[in-house]
Amino acid sequence: MNIDRIVKKFQESHPDEDTTVLYLAYDFANEAHTGQLRKTGEPYIQHALHTAFILAEIKADLPTVIAGLLHDVPEDTDRTNKDVQKNFGEEVANLVAGITKLGKIKYRGIERYRENLKRMFLAMTTDIRVIFIKFCDRLHNLRTLEGLPPAKQKRIAQETLEIYAPIAGMLGIWRLKWQLEDLCFKCLYPKKFQELEQEYEIEKKAERNQYFQKIKTELIPRLKEIDLKYNIEVRFKHLYSIFQKMQRKDRKFDEIYDVFALRVVVPDINSCYKVLGIIHTLWKPKPNRFKDYIAVPKPNGYRSLHTTIFGPESKAVEFQIRTQEMNDESLYGLAAHWYYKSKNQNGQQPLWVKEIIDIQKEVSDTNELIKNIKLNIFNDRIFVFSPKGDAFELTEHSTPIDFAYAIHTNIGNQATGAIINDRLGKLDQELKNGDLVEIITDKGRQYPNRDWLKFVKTKRARDRIKQFARKGPLENIKRFLPGIKPKK
């Protein structure tokens, strides 16, 4: 790896940026790491270069790529973070300091694991770009594990699966998540990895390519008829994901049917729906296998049209239809999102990051903090709509009461019923992604029902119910009963 490759890769997504500072950062890091070797025997500067290159691949901004080049300088050389700040400014120095503070995360039992998760959460809420750098640093470390003793290799792989990969998924950086997981899979389960690789990558490759060609032969002429620019890609399920599905559903490899999908990338949203129409006229769609994540994106921002059809030879094939921007965001997550929005990263934190900040303010105990974050943040999310068309993000299995409090505290306190998709529903009914919900209220009602605590799922709803239920009529009566003190 050399600095010219990094600059070229960075310029692909940032053609108007002045890249002179990248060369300066390389010279600074190269001089600082002079004489240092990695366990593999290669010069240490290679690790910094590879980390920066991966950052450029995910469309990270200039300060982040610079920090990738410099991330180990204060910790492993005689240069300090003050030297970094003097030469490259406060923003880069803060990113490098964030990596240093994050430290070397190591899996040493459940207590150490929780402490390290806490550190990751803190780093994310300060500046998520610190986590981007840490992920890219870890990915290159996994690619060069051979220089370490076997026991240490397995420890690094295990902690990556436990800590890094799930958070990469939450950030939507699927390109990194898949690579991290497959490298860990290869290290931890080498025989299983080799067996799957043999079946998936070698034995089935020719058969798959032949089948893709049949589909393209039918689809491409129809796309040309409407004079549409397009790019057709093949998306393969990564090996660790296949392994997990085989384990979870107790299936053999040949019984896993969604190991690949065809991806059609087009210029704009209107073209996405045109391509969908063409595909459905060519082949019969499979019932209940159509998802419109453009109209209703996933909570992590993922957008695409998904449909499964019965293709040639009646084989089930999934199509994913999206724009180039959607495709980049699906691979690179928040890094690509910021790149397209051209806004400051700190202003683009998603809702769940803000929720982590709120929880950290309220909970000081580490065990309780992790429990709260896992329960309230790392659950799957759904979008529910109001009659006005406003979308509200909730945790999976949320109820109309959770939805009511997401709108406004008064709506929650006064809720007496719910209309779900134009039908009368129950207040404890589980909501689904895309539901249209109207809350029925009684303005004469001032206080929530404490029994709602038995079924609500969101932290906001629980907190508001506890807060206002204390003020209810029962608590006022207790003030006049001897020997009973009202709750404060």
pLDDT in tens, 412-444: 999 999 999 888 999 999 998 767 889 999 988
Q: Which amino acid does the sequence have at 128?
A: I
pLDDT (average), residues 286-295? 86
Stated pTM of the model: 0.66
Per-domain boundaries in the chain: 3-189, 196-334, 379-478
Q: Would you call 76 a catalytic residue per the annotation? A: yes
Q: What is the CATH number of domain 379-478?
A: 3.10.20.30
Of the candidates 4, 12, 31, 75, the residue annotated as catalytic is: 75
35: left (phi over 0), alpha (psi -120 to 50) or beta: left
Write down the mean pLDDT value for the chain. 80
Q: How many CA atoms lie within 13 A of 377 on its CB side?
A: 23
Please tell me which of 20-24, 128-132, 431-435, 454-458 the model is most confident about, judged by mean pLDDT: 20-24
Equal CATH topology for 196-334 and 379-478: no
- Beta strand 391-395 with 305-310 is unpaired
Look at the domain 3-189 and name its fold: Hypothetical protein af1432 (1.10.3210)
Structure confidence by residue, pLDDT tens digits, 48-82? 999 999 999 888 889 999 999 999 998 888 898 89
Under the banding of pLDDT at 50, 70 and 90, the label for residue 256 is low
Rounded Cα–Cα distance for residues 201 and 259 (Å): 11
Under the banding of pLDDT at 50, 70 and 90, the label for residue 32 is very high
Residues whose CB falls within 8 Å of the CB of residue 406, separated by 6 or more in sequence, listed in order? 392, 393, 394, 458, 460, 461
Residues whose CB falls within 8 Å of the CB of residue 23, separated by 6 or more in sequence, listed in order? 3, 7
Q: Is the pLDDT of residue 168 over 90?
A: no
Question: Residue 323 in contact with residue 269, Cβ under 8 Å?
Answer: yes
Q: Is the pLDDT of residue 7 over 90?
A: yes
Question: According to the model, what pLDDT value does residue 103 have?
Answer: 64
pLDDT (average), residues 102-110? 53
Kind plus residue range of the DSSP H or E element containing 311 = none
Question: According to the model, what pLDDT value does residue 361 have?
Answer: 58
Q: Which residue has the higher pLDDT, 250 or 273?
A: 273
Look at the domain 196-334 and name its fold: Beta Polymerase; domain 2 (3.30.460)
Question: According to the model, what pLDDT value does residue 50 have?
Answer: 95
Specify burial of residue 410 (Cβ count, 10 A radius: 0-12, 13-18, 19+). middle
**DSSP letter (8 states) at residue 365:** S
Q: Would you call 380 a catalytic residue per the annotation? A: no
Q: Is the pLDDT of residue 126 over 60?
A: yes
Q: Which amino acid does the sequence have at 379?
A: N
Question: According to the model, what pLDDT value does residue 486 have?
Answer: 46
Question: Residue 400 in contact with residue 427, Cβ under 8 Å?
Answer: yes
Of the candidates 17, 42, 76, 292, the residue annotated as catalytic is: 76
Question: According to the model, what pLDDT value does residue 258 have?
Answer: 61
Percent of residues, the chain, with pLDDT higher than 70: 76
Structure confidence by residue, pLDDT tens digits, 318-374? 899 999 888 887 777 666 655 555 434 444 455 555 666 566 556 555 556 555 555
